[in-house]
Structure 1
Amino acid sequence: MILISIFATFFKLGCIAFGGPAAHIALFRKTFVDEKQWLTDNEFSQIMAVAQFMPGPASSQIGISLGLHKAGQIGGFVAWLGFTLPTAIVLIAIAQGMLLVDTNNIEPVINGLKLATAAIVLHAVSSMFKSFCRDTLTIAICLTTALLMVLLDSIWLQFILLLVAAACAAIFRKSKQNTHAQQSVSLPISRLAFRTSLLLFASLMIILPVASYYFSQPLLDLFARFFRVGATVFGGGHVVLPMLQQEMVTTGWVTENAFLAGYGITQAMPGPIFTFAAFLGAVNQLAIPSAIAAMIALIAIFSPSFLLINICFFYWRKLSENAAIRASLIGINAAVVGLLLAAFYQPIFISSVDSVLQLIAFTLLTALVFWQKVPVWLIVILAGGCGYFWQFLQ
């Protein structure tokens, strides 16, 4: 059955997807374009480009869109559930008992996983560079984006660079665009789903803050806070940290020690970093049952993604027929490659390789990934195991 296949595939990816959005995108492309061939490289690039412009976790939104593309709305939900569940279960279990992990014991394993992540991301950057950076303009956009991301530090920089890349490509590539556009990706979103999603998103953004202020219900306030974060944070990943800290720590909902411990543990987990919401819900200081609060926080922070996907992709086929928009996608995809290149260098490579032995290990893992004869999940397990046993050889 297709839904079982979707869940099993994303659950497996959720168990091995270390390294944040860059590594997730690499795994998605390798799995669904190269291996399973659920969609073409062009269709995947369109989904990837649109997801970069939506607030929320980009890699999870790509995963939801892939499930939606394959099996409708329920397919999108099943894909999200499979990808999110492994990390969420572990984080909730740790949070309920506040089992503080001994970092001295897990640090060698994490170091091994970081090396595997670096190899996977480098392969993704290489293959995507070949696909999306084929002329002087796109190569310039890619390299400029990567350089600025490494040199500058701004929450809004990624979004600004994507806009500039889109504008440059629309201006300089529009006249060169073939009048016969490539097949636009089509997601099975009905008019009812579009209208319902638009109404819900607009209503919840307005009603939730007002309702939580006047009714002072902890569960309602919890949902409102995490929904607001999921609907407004651009860049995903680590960008969500200051927003969650503002919403949860400064208000006394979660202690600072619990927040920092949970964030550190989340870094060692595979899957989307937004699952950190489940941990925060579980360690709340409001006497809300931890399992209930964790599920509410998790659903709330990802809910905007489902609504925004229905809103953005409903008219996508018509919008993509516009020559300027088709051209802008070329710039966006080149910029995304630049973002991945910057993410590979910093923090992935910088934090993973700080010795000659680690450089050798990274080179060997990279050779395995580029060889493409060994499954990625096996490479991840191998790297983590080698990191664990390496501590006994030192």
Structure 2
Amino acid sequence: MSVPTISSLRISNGPALLSRFKEVFLRTWDLGFTAFGGPPVHFQILHRRFVDDAENSPWIDEQTYQELFAVSQALPGPASTKMAFSIAHTHAGLVPAILFFFIWSLPGALGMFGLALGIQRVGAVLPDPVYALLSGINAATVGIIALAAVQLSKKAITDRLTRALVVASGCAGLCYNALWYLPTLMVVGGCSTVAWDCWMEARIREIKAKLSRGRNLASREVEENSIQMEPSHHAEQSTVQHRHISASSAYGEPYPQERQVVPAPAPAAPKHGLPVKWGILTIFCFFVSFIALMVLRGVLKNPPRSFSLFTNMYLAGTVIFGGGPVVIPLLREYVVQPGWVSPRDFLLGLALIQAFPGPNFNFSVYLGGLSLSTSSTTLGAVLAFFGIFLPGITLSVGFQSVWRALRRRRFVVSGLRGVNAAAVGLVFTAVYRLWQIGYLTPTESSGVSLANEPWWLVISVVTYASVEWYGTVPPVAIMGGGVAGLGWWGAVARQRL
């Protein structure tokens, strides 16, 4: 493989690049402050903003969105952040996409950094109204995620097989949870649709062959009868018509030209992206860096904590599939067990991350700042931020260029359809996971099931209905859930105490 040259990148000229910078900023500047609710809600926000927006021209079409969604789910790292980055990369190019990444992630990251600065001054137990506020926010978030799961499933389900994959993936995600399990479910989903489409194509070819043989047989019978009987012109027409009717009755109307399954045309090629050679080189360099860091991580006996923090976050960003809900247990192992962050501070940050906009991976900024609080909170936050986001973004850049070359192949389209359906099923699993840890109390700050208090179900249902039927924007609905939680504390919980 020849090494690509710098000239092959073909970065656009200055004015065009500045114009794309301006477009990306004006279209996305508010998302970092308003994208509450976690990855499932983020996918819906991105769809409304860049596919369905009637006031502005769409950045991508529906099929491209579904393909990017499947690719983002199939790669490790923060799912919604990769999706946002890939949409901007496809429409505006790599450098504007990097700008969008910081617009998307920095507001929440700065908020978590401020929380890391102040959390050590907080007492061991928060005031009771704060727990009620956080529980109400969690309950509203459950309603938002449930709505996102339903809306995503409507787009992912295209036939009986994808419907079955959504149900099977969601049920399987409820029953078991491990690092290898979620990507395995998505691989099984992709293989299932490839096998199904191949079987359907074989069946169609078989039916076409039978129809063709039937037409040939009918034609030969007509010719033989016309030679032997030499019918009149009117009789010949009747015989031919009779034979055609017989063939139609035997093999069905219409003839196979109308029965052929024509694959959906691939969407227009992305406007911007790295050449395939650069994409392959990017993937190669990532794996070289990952192997080098993991070797050093295992060889060094007493490495600096800053190095250990970065490598732990780099590893988490590489092996995590499924986004924020999956990364939490792994981060606990990487920062709590070594004694860098206390269990209390970890649980408080976990409760508060739901109230912050942007990706849940910003939780790493909070943990990184606390891990190096004795030396440099800022350094720890920066190392954790880049360590956990860099793998997913790098792989997205590399694989997007490869995807551009493979996206027109039928087996790739079929496989992405199955990966997409399986990933949507796991969104329903996220609803259950958050429901199980959403209720916070002074004695149960790690979270218990929202089912312990019926009021939280009321908040979830009202949030779902208000967003779906009355057009309430998700940030307002989530904050309304927090206010409802405070109201419950004032009317019920305080009386109990």
Q: Residues of 2 paired with 1:286 and 1:131: CA distance? A: 45
What's the offset of the Cα at 1:95? Answer: 1.2
Distance in 2, matches of 1:371 and 1:86, equals 30
What residue ranges of structure 2 are gaps of 5+ in the alignment?
A: 1-18, 202-260, 439-448, 493-497
Deviations 1:149-205 (A, max 9, x none): 112333322211111111110011244563453316636222375255234312311
Residue 334 in structure 1 maps to residue 421 in structure 2: yes
Give the whole-Å Cα distance in 2 for the aligned partners of 1:189 and 1:298.
Answer: 25
1:259 is aligned to 346
User: CA separation in 1, counterparts of 2:150 and 2:171?
Assistant: 17
Partner of 2:267: 183
Query: Partners of 2:294 and 2:432 in 1: how far apart?
Result: 39
Following superposition, the deviation at residue 122 of structure 1 comes to 2.9
Say what the alpha-carbon RMSD is for the aligned residues.
Answer: 2.9
CA contact (8 A) 1:218 1:286 kept: no
d(CA) in 1 for partners of 2:349, 2:478: 23
**Counterpart position of 1:158:** 182
SS class of match (2:357): coil
Matches within 5 A, 1:200-215: 200-211=285-296, 213=299
Alignment partner of 1:231 out of 299, 318, 322: 318
- 1:217-240 Cα offsets, whole Å, 9 max, x none, are 544443233222212222332322
What letter is aligned with 2:146?
Answer: L
Greater Cα shift, 12-21 or 76-85: 12-21
Q: Tell me whether 1:124 sits opposite 2:208 in the alignment.
A: no
Q: Displacement, 1:39?
A: 1.8
Aligned residues of 1:14 and 1:270 also touching (Cα < 8 A): yes
1:313 aligns with 2:400: yes
* CA distance in 2: counterparts of 1:219 and 1:13, whole angstroms: 31
CA distance in 1, matches of 2:183, 2:96: 29
Post-superposition offset of 1:112: 3.0
**218-227 or 351-360, larger mean C-alpha shift:** 351-360
Structure 2 match to 1:43: 64
Which residue in the other structure is 1:84 paired with? 105
Aligned length: 394
Per-residue deviation, 1:295: 1.0
C-alpha distance in 2, partners of 1:324/1:84? 34
Q: What per-residue deviation string (whole Å, max 9, x for no partner) do you get for residues 239-262 of structure 1?
A: 223432333333344344433433
1:156–1:86 Cα change, 3 Å = same
Q: Which amino acid aligns with 2:480?
A: L
Residues 211 and 158 (structure 1), Cα distance of their counterparts in 2 relative to 1, 3 Å cut = closer
Q: Structure 2: how far apart are the matches of 1:63 and 1:378?
A: 22
Paired residues for 1:272-287 under 5 Å: 272-285=359-372, 287=374
- TM (norm. structure 2) is 0.71
Residue of structure 2 in register with 1:385 after alignment: 483
Query: CA distance change for structure 1 residues 361 and 185 in 2, over 3 Å: closer, same or farther?
Result: farther
Alignment equivalent of 1:173, drawn from 186, 192, 197: 197
TM-score (norm 1): 0.88
For 1:285 and 1:235, the matched residues in 2 are separated by 28
1:337, 1:237 → 2: CA distance? 15
> Is 1:12 the counterpart of 2:30 in the alignment?
yes
Gaps of 5+ in 1: none
Q: 2:131 aligns with which of 107, 114, 127?
A: 107
Sort the Cα spacing of 1:294 and 1:12 in 2 relative to 1 into closer, same or farther, 3 A.
Answer: same
CA contact 1:161–1:335 (8 Å) conserved in 2: yes
